[in-house]
Structure 1
Amino acid sequence: MRSPSARTFGVLCLGQFAATAGLTIVVPLLPFYLARLGTPEAEIPWWTAVSLAAPAVVQLISGPLWGWVGDRFGRKSMVVRAHFGLGLAIALMALASTPGEFLACRVLQGACGGVVSATAAYANAGAAANRRGRALGALFGATAAGSLLGPLAGGLLAGRLGFSPLFVAVAGMLALSSVLAALVLSEPPGHAPQRQSVRVVAGILLRARESRSMLLAGLAAQAAIYALVVVFAPHVERVTGSVAGATAWVGVLQAVTWLASCAGGPWWGRRNDVRPAQAGFAAAAAGCGLAVALQAVASVELLVPLRLVQGFCFAALVQSVLHVTARQVPDRGCGTAFGFGTGVLDLGQVLGPLAGAALAVLLPPAAVFSLIGALLGVAALLAVAGRPKPGADSPQPDETREKVLR
């Protein structure tokens, strides 16, 4: 029973952490950064929205394609490529002098990135079948750690050092992880080239009830979580009654959310190895939805335990979707499956903020939080609908699944 060595997994987690920290380091401060680039004040919200959405939109196409390239030519090269490409895009951000140039760098980020699907495909291929949940869980724990420390570093250092040195430092960390991946990683054993197109693999995932339901559940959950991002800070401002108080509390609440996700990622991963991932997703989405709905009526102090529950439950969602999608295709096609799955999740990342902004204009805050919680409840029901039937909760043997790709 094979499993990635500690050194190999350390390299993967370092890259996942560096990529997430680099991507999130500027996000909370993006309006301030765009203002420094000379963006007219009236245009800053538009440029902020477009800059946030651009990488996810591009990855709808690039993610499945890079996954197919990895299945065809090797998983190690995709890890090296993803880290290097993301580092290059972030390094170029340090040279941007206009909002248009920064947006071009964000588009390049989406085209060259895909760190999540690349590292997940490598870890999935290198781990034993009964330990793949743990592998994905550890990677998403590293993602949560990057999401925790990236904005914290950005908030503490951007005012003192400026944005360009931060971008250069992150690019250097990604270049280091790319070099380490090239030197330390080896191609997972048993790799056989995948010759089928993205369309064929996508067709398999969409026809199979388990993966189709989980992809829809993941899309709904991602849209809900990213809709919450839009309305959460203004809600905290209303609760605290001041911008200064809201700024401090939002930082604390974001930190406790991601801290809980750091612990939740490995826990849910281990659970997915012994129980159906659909059940874990459903329980987590329901818990997350309840925690979100209650935030509408909670005091600022009570938001702390609610965000802890939200963060712990959120850690199950993405990894469970990828865990299920990878089971529907042979191992040699899991990179394409991961790329397609992350592309669907990226669509939720694009639609969620748009929905959140529209709801915030049309409805009172309590109704908005309730609807977001209800959408997470819908995601839980979709996952339950895709649960394996009794006696069929083990994946198909590779020999059976291979026939589908021929």
Structure 2
Amino acid sequence: MLLARDTARRDRAFAVLWFGQFAAIAGLTVVVPLLPFYLAGFGLEAADVAWWTGIALAAPAVTQLITAPLWGMVGDRYGHKAMVVRAHAGLALAVGLMAFAETPGEFLACRLLQGACGGVVSATAAYASTVAAPQRRGRTLGGLFGATGAGSLVGPLLGSVLAGRFGFGALFGSVAVLLVIASGLALVLLPRSCGEAGSRENRRGGLRDAARSLLLERSGRSLLLAGLLGQAAIYALIVVFAQRVAGIAGSIAAATMWVGALQAATWAASLLGGPWWGRRNDRRPANAGFAIAAVCCGVAVALQALPASPELLLPLRLVQGFCFAAFAQSVLHVACDLAPRQARGTAVGFSSGCLDLGQVAGPFFGALAVTVLPPGGAFAAIGALLGCAAVLAVCGLRRSSPSAPVTVAAARKPELTEVGS
């Protein structure tokens, strides 16, 4: 009876987390694929659009790079449920303010606030890692990445259809309301994750252990760097992809439709790929899965310079989306395995910060590539970046065990799997 009740609470918690992550990602991706066109609406010169796009894409990651480890430490001290509620509420505030932006600078300020107050993915991952059984952690993180895929599938479709009809201001306001609802659901329905409270000594030791386990352990260090490069490549692609589609679609109106549709197809593949890679990470080393995914993704990206019509990009985007689903969850999976329990939020925040660093560098890499290289060269450069990420991930396998790594902390103390107070 007690086991059935605990299982029901875990399922309810996962449903709340899934909805919240879906709402956050859907709300943000209504504009990201169309960002070059949105910024052009502020009256920017054509030559400035690519650079403003890069700056706007990188802005949330700049502030989140600083705040993610700090929020993780707060979560380790006061509870990860509070961080889930805080992340949705903070994101609602930032997105709501975007509805009133009238200049690129004002929009940029809102994006910076988004990174400082948001962080839904890392907050959700930290909470989920405390309620999932260790042998099912990959499935849990993969399922949550499925929410990312679903949100990113719905977001571009809604953005492409609704932005032109109602305007971005009304769209941002609606997203803010949805995020407030998600924050309220988390506050009311999420139980406290087990093991949230701990002594000050344990928390301090956990911070030291987290730093050592992530940076000194070869598998963790190599995968953090690989994740950084992988994230940089994907965000560089956003900068060059819209211009590529515009060059073969025939008109801005057609390009807008195709960018939204192809982005949605990419994330539909991620929706399927997230759980698949998660289950694989429970059975085999996450470094190996990351390397395979990065190679396949790099080939698919490099080939996107070749098609002469937008519909021929579809199979390449499907491969890209399915493989990209392995990146972030593999990094977080290894971080959760290596970090001691009492510092897991800090480890997740630190790992998310490394991924955010890639998000900062990627758009500038893309803007530079599209400026100094022909379109084919820009896609090839991004593909090569993914190849480097694969090599780094493989380097971490040399001292990794065939199965998922077991942390020193896990060896000292069995991990509880129930959701408790």
The partner residue of 2:187 within 169, 182, 185 is 182
Q: Is the 8 A contact 2:75 2:82 kept in 1?
A: yes
CA contact (8 A) 1:66 1:339 kept: yes
1:381 to 366, 391, 394: 391
Give yes or no for contact 1:72–1:195 (8 Å, CA) kept in 2: no
Q: Using the TM superposition, give the Cα deviation of residue 232 of structure 1 relative to its aligned residue in structure 2, in angstroms.
A: 1.8
2:218 aligned partner: 209
Once the two structures are TM-superposed, the CA of residue 68 in structure 1 deviates from its matched residue by 0.8
**Cα gap change, 1:364/1:34 in structure 2, threshold over 3 Å: closer, same or farther?**
closer
Match of 1:66 among 38, 63, 71: 71
CA contact (8 A) 1:89 1:105 kept: yes
Cα distance, 1:399–1:203 mapped onto 2, change above 3 Å: closer
Q: Is the 8 A contact 2:57 2:359 kept in 1?
A: no
Letter of the structure 2 residue corresponding to residue 179 of structure 1: G
Task: For 1:391 and 1:346, locate their aligned partners in 2 and report how far apart those are by CA, in whole Å.
Answer: 29
RMSD: 2.4
**Contact 1:84-1:178 at 8 Å conserved across structures:** yes
1:226 matched to 2:231? The reply is no
Whether the 8 Å contact between 1:64 and 1:198 is mirrored in structure 2 is no
Larger deviation: 119-128 or 389-398?
Answer: 389-398
- Supply the distance in 2 between the matched residues of 1:37 and 1:247 (Cα, whole angstroms): 17
Amino acid corresponding to residue 151 of structure 2 in structure 1: G
Q: How many residues align?
A: 402
Give the match for residue 344 of structure 2.
Answer: 334
Which of 162, 166, 172 pairs up with 1:161?
166
Report the alpha carbon displacement of residue 13 of structure 1 after superposing the two structures with TM: 0.7
Q: C-alpha separation between the residues in 2 aligned to 1:382 and 1:93? A: 38
Structure 1 residues 226 and 396: alpha-carbon distance in aligned structure 2, compared to 1, 3 A threshold: same
Say which of 307, 310, 313 aligns to 1:303: 313
Task: Give the letter for the 2:269 counterpart.
Answer: A
Cα separation, partners in 2 of 1:240 and 1:168, compared to 1, 3 Å: closer
Q: 1:284 to 1:31 in 2, by over 3 A?
A: closer
Shift of residue 372, structure 1, vs aligned partner:
1.5
TM-score, structure 2 as length reference:
0.88
Residue among 149, 156, 179 paired with 2:154: 149
| Equivalence for 1:398 | 409
Instruction: Tell me how far apart the structure 1 counterparts of residues 40 and 385 of structure 2 sit (CA, whole Å).
Output: 34
Whole-angstrom distance in 2 between the partners of 1:38 and 1:248: 21
- Tell me whether 18-27 or 173-182 shows the greater mean CA deviation: 18-27
Superposition TM-score, scaled by structure 1 size: 0.91
Q: Give 1:79's aligned amino acid.
A: V
Unaligned runs of 5+ in 1: none
Shift of 1:310: 0.8
1:295 and 1:390 map into 2 onto residues whose CA distance is 36
Structure 1 stretch displaced more, 170-179 or 300-309: 300-309
Q: 1:251 to 1:98 in 2, by over 3 A?
A: closer
Q: Which residue identity does 1:343 align to in structure 2?
A: G
In 1, distance between residues paired with 2:164 and 2:57?
21
1:395, 1:246 → 2: CA distance? 48
Rounded Cα–Cα distance in structure 2 between residues aligned with 1:79 and 1:217: 27
| Contact 1:213 1:382 (C-alpha < 8 Å) held by counterparts | yes
Could you say which residue in structure 2 is the equivalent of 1:353? 363
**Which residue in the other structure is 2:300 paired with?**
291
Q: CA deviation at 1:299?
A: 4.4
Aligned residue in 2 for 1:262: 271
More off after superposition, 316-325 vs 152-161: 152-161
Conserved 8 A contact 1:330-1:401: no
The residue type equivalent to 1:273 in the other structure is D
- Identity of matched residues, %: 61
Aligned CA distance change for structure 1 residues 34 and 130 (closer, same or farther; 3 Å): same
Letter in 2 for 1:306: L
Checking the alignment, whether the CA contact within 8 Å between 1:328 and 1:401 is kept in structure 2 is no
Tell me what 2:322 maps to. Answer: 312
Asked if 1:90 is matched to 2:95, the reply is yes
Q: Give the equivalent residue in structure 2 for 1:343.
A: 353
Q: How far is 1:40 from its partner?
A: 7.6
Deviates more, 1:57-66 or 1:364-373: 364-373
Is 2:394 the counterpart of 1:364?
no
SS in 2 for 1:298: coil
The offset of 1:101, in angstroms, is 3.1
Structure 2: how far apart are the matches of 1:19 and 1:382?
31
Cα distance, 1:30 vs structure 2:
3.6
Q: Tell me how far 1:95 sits from its aligned partner.
A: 3.1
**Partners of 1:177 and 1:311 in 2: CA distance:** 26
> What runs of 5+ residues in structure 2 fail to find an aligned partner?
414-421
Amino acid across the alignment from 1:283: I
Give the distance between the partners of 1:42 and 1:268, measured in 2 at CA. Answer: 40
